[in-house]
Amino acid sequence: MATREMRFAVDNKDLKVMAAKLPGTVMSYWEGDRLLRARVTAAQLKRDRYGKAYVEVELEEVAAAAKMACPAPT
């Protein structure tokens, strides 16, 4: 399981609501030059040393079979 900082362009009130809804969702994110998909297992609202809010999430890699659950139309 990986832990990542996610920063969103929303105010603190909306960020609290978003952090509560994230666990259980599958999200895509960039790591270097690769686009990855992972399931959020936990999300917590935190603040950096300057007082700016961000969401720290724990991610679990999505299985390859789940990535192909909806194949492209032919």
Instruction: Find all residues with CB under 8 Å of 23, minimum gap 6, and list them.
Output: 40, 41, 42, 43
Mean pLDDT rounded to a whole number for the chain: 84
Cα(60)–Cα(42) distance, integer angstroms: 10
- Say whether pTM exceeds 0.75: no
- The pLDDT tens digits of the residues spanning 13-48 come to 889 998 999 999 998 888 889 998 999 999 999 999
Matching residue, tokens 């139309």? 73
CB atoms within 10 A of CB 45: 14
Cα(69)–Cα(12) distance, integer angstroms: 35
Question: Which two three-digit tokens encode residue 1?
Answer: 């399981």
